[in-house]
Structure 1
């Protein structure tokens, strides 16, 4: 591991957490177009790392490099503890990849797809059948196992695709937009599968265009834009980068509303709705100060709501032309 990439600390127990994936100065160009412009990545083992970005930002290129499908133009990368350049075969043995487009062969059954993967991983016939049956059961595909995969729904095909990826028991899985095109129910099923994988100790590197997906699943999120990492952190850290958070107080008593409006001079007024809007970062400290003020003055609000920016706001701000400050070094840890 390059000396500049240090192990992260697991905040739940204080012990160092090894990196499943680390990259320093990763670069890739196609002709005169720079796709990845010296990006750094650090993905702790046993976590979900989400890479977000607009179409053409380089997400799939990053996955292809990290999974040995294409070579980088520069940078130092280790995956599963192995150097990507000199130990590519060891990297391949440690990873599984589910791309944007399904690897399922629709002309054969789900079971035959699984057994084909078992053969590719050089499992014995008995072991291959055992692994295939277990994964088909785990992904709720046992009843459909004997049917041609072409008859499967989109969600079933995606589950089979990931089951095929797991035949070799990879420690690190790359999921490139795994839920694109799925209906909401199938998407939530896929989220449950991803959570189960991580609970079992697997590291998941996820690219997605669904911001709710990253918010629900990812321990850390990086936003890729213009070939660079625009920002990285937890979902909450990224949300705090964007202004616009506020506390909204709504009143039914006009007198209470006027009293509060006169005292809270920095609040935006909505006289028709009898509502006040106070800038806030949504922290417990700021919310407590508002509640303490209401108690001390005897003013009673009928409704108090806290509004904080979501990942949609973060994404649009970070991928716009106007730069947004990156998280401080401490907040990103």
Structure 2
């Protein structure tokens, strides 16, 4: 982790000195770069202690008190760095809320937005709850990668910039949302503060793990949306399946549609459509909030109904809308 933090600290320092491209490839040459690296090394033990404290607080998205507690833990760290901090209460979108920290730099300083989140996928009922050291160089725990580790790295990098005397050369806003894993509704309220911060920033950096390689930076991210496919067939005795007036039934037709989705969408770079759940039979029910369904059917009855839920991930709005149009054409060809 230290190597990654050193590179990150130097990269952030380079934003303050307008030398980003050179810093990414060049060895440490300037006194500022050397001071940043030294500060990262000094701060790493304390950062690991902070990470352990954060991980041992359960902050599953719907554990609102736990999300707030992690927010207060990190808020104190931002306060100590001279940031003005505020908690945005999330009752209006049925979540804990967000932590926002802002520190103005010198006149004309580049505005940098740092993005993190406080919640994890591990709710209070999860058996995975505690920080553990698994070797001299690795640890495990709920939310370390996604993304309390990223939040701690953010703070350590800022501390290193301050210790190196270059933090004042940047205006920094940090937004740590409390509902990244399960976004509240309405979305326009849940993401209002993050969007406002992005509108005024020159550069934005998210600190969540990207492609699983700690030395890689992801420079684009696909947006996600959801879809639901409902198919109705003609119920009949199974001996009549494939008859012209009966057809193949809902399950066969659903298989045709999903296979066509895969064939079409998998050919397009960066575009994915994943069917995550399916129920089918004579009668079906699906609860989207619980992501749980049930079905009744018999082997000698042609299936009457199927429901499929999935997500669609695209790199641009145009790609997303094109995929939706393709999916609709496939369904209409039934």
> What is the TM-score normalised by the length of structure 2?
0.25
Q: More helix per residue: 1 or 2?
A: 2
| TM-score of the superposed pair, with normalisation by structure 1 | 0.25
